[in-house]
A and B are shown apart, each in its own frame.
Chain A
Amino acid sequence: MSPNRRIRGGKVIAADNLYTVILGLAFCIVLATAAFVAYKCYFQYETIFNIP
């Protein structure tokens, strides 16, 4: 929980850092996916970008 939690109009509102973490998580997921795809391409076709 971000320390920047605020209460607006009587409701609890998430801090902006939470969305940064979510965005970072999404980036990491995309990065991990790209790495996995590159790994599979290299070990199956022995190249990443070229067509064998």
Chain B
Amino acid sequence: MSTLTKILIVLVTISSIFLCGIVVTYVALADNYKDKYDEIKTERDSFKETANDKTEQLNKKIAEKDALEDKLNREIAKLNTEISTLKGDLKAANDEQKISNQRLSDMASVVETTTQTSKETTKLLMDTQAQLTLAEAEKTKLEAQFEDTSNTLLEKLAIIQTLEKEKKQLLEEKAELQSRMDKLLQPTGKAPAPVVIVTPPTDVARPAPVITKKIELRGLVTAVDSKNKMAGISIGTADGVKEGMRFHVTRANKFICDILIIDTDAEEAVGVLELIEEQPRPGDTVATNL
């Protein structure tokens, strides 16, 4: 055997040992791809099943979400309707509150006017009471004067009776003297001259002239109730209007009717229509004096 063959045998042996070692090492350390494939396939199937379950749950949740969304939409529509109703109620309540506030302010003004009128009435009552006291004092004084005057009158009546008796006696004496004078003068053909009165006759007492003052109230007709023959005027107790006063209604110097006041307020008065020649209208002039 040649040396070259020997070298080749040694090299083949070494290389085969080396290559076989590499192959054995590789095969021993190589992964089991079939197991990995099975494992991955099992895992994939599991994931697929899980995905199906999740998809089913998702569909279920979507259906529940749709149902809930429909329910919520119905509730939203219902709540929107309630909101609209409540807005309407709120608006009505606000309007009512405005009206109430207006009424309250009107009532406050009425109360204020009434209070002022009450104060004026109280003041007027006090003045009237003072005048009544004065009138009672005056009455007492007049009663005393009346008593004196009555006594004086009685005395005067007694004097008058006495004077009448004396007058009667004088007339009788005058008649007697006249008859005697006639008997004395008739034979001489004379007659007595008529008696001339020396004392001047006293004047007859006359009533003193009555001094009056015109009221001079003027206003306008504010309302007319032709059915009940009633009318309202624009002036009241603050201007001096009193119950029982009579106002004349005119329109451009033409007489329309009379209004007899039956109820008064601070700023207005109401009365009954009388002597109607023409139907009065709001705006016609009313006055106490034509």
B137 part of interface (Cβ distance < 8 Å): no
Q: Of B7-15, B222-230, B237-245, B260-268, which binds chain A?
A: B7-15
Query: Interface residue count for A (Cβ, 8 Å)?
Result: 18
Contact B20 A23 (CB under 8 A): no
**0 or 1 for each of B9-45: is its CB under 8 Å from A? (1 = yes):** 1101100110010011001101010110000000000
**If A16-B1, A37-B27, A52-B34 touch, does A22 touch B13 (CB 8 Å cutoff)?**
yes
Interface status of B254 (Cβ within 8 A of chain A): no
Contact B13 A26 (CB under 8 A): yes
Q: Interface digits, A13-52 against B, CB 8 Å rule (1 contact, 0 not)?
A: 0101001001101100110110011001000111000001
**Prevailing SS type, chain A contact patch:** helix
Verify A37–B32 contact, CB threshold 8 A: no
- Chain B: interface residue count, which band? 10 to 19
Q: Are A19 and B1 in contact (CB under 8 A)?
A: yes
B interface residues with partner A (beta carbon < 8 Å): 1, 5-6, 9-10, 12-13, 16-17, 20, 23-24, 27-28, 30, 32, 34-35
A residues in contact (CB < 8 Å) with B? 14, 16, 19, 22-23, 25-26, 29-30, 32-33, 36-37, 40, 44-46, 52
